[in-house]
Amino acid sequence: MMSLTGHAGPRVGAIAPLGTRTHLPRTKRASSQHDHDDAEHRATAQAWADDLVRALDKCDRLDATMVGLVYVGGLTHSLVAQRLALPLDQVNTGIARAMQCIGQSLTGGGTALALRPTTGTVLE
């Protein structure tokens, strides 16, 4: 094997090529842990989404629609007002009311939640 310096043979401290015995256990452990982390993340995200849908079902239908357009659809409050042909004040109030309803449903009446638009990430 030719090294980077032009000398034949393996260099001291050289990294073994992929697929050699020294790399298989480390790669397998990392991949297995990564798969576990991905599965755990998907399960947590799905549980959160299910809880959020149940919380939205408890809110006023129009308020829930406004929240969906902003936080899932990525629309601004102004665009929601235009799309629903409502005054901006009514949209702002409806979204605030829905967020309070969601927060109470998810926290059992405790702290209100703040969600980041389009991601659904909790900002507490």
66-123 tens-digit pLDDT:
999 998 899 999 999 999 999 999 999 999 999 999 988 888 765 455 555 554 444 4
User: pTM of the predicted model, to two decimals?
Assistant: 0.56
In this predicted structure, the answer to whether residue 15 has a pLDDT above a threshold of 80 is no
Q: Which of 3-12, 23-32, 103-112 has the highest mean pLDDT?
A: 103-112
Which residue, among 124, 58, 66, 53, has the nearest Cα to 93 in the 3D structure?
66
What is the rounded (10 degree) CA torsion for 43, 49, 71, 124?
-80
Which residue, among 66, 65, 63, 62, has the nearest Cα to 77 in the 3D structure?
66
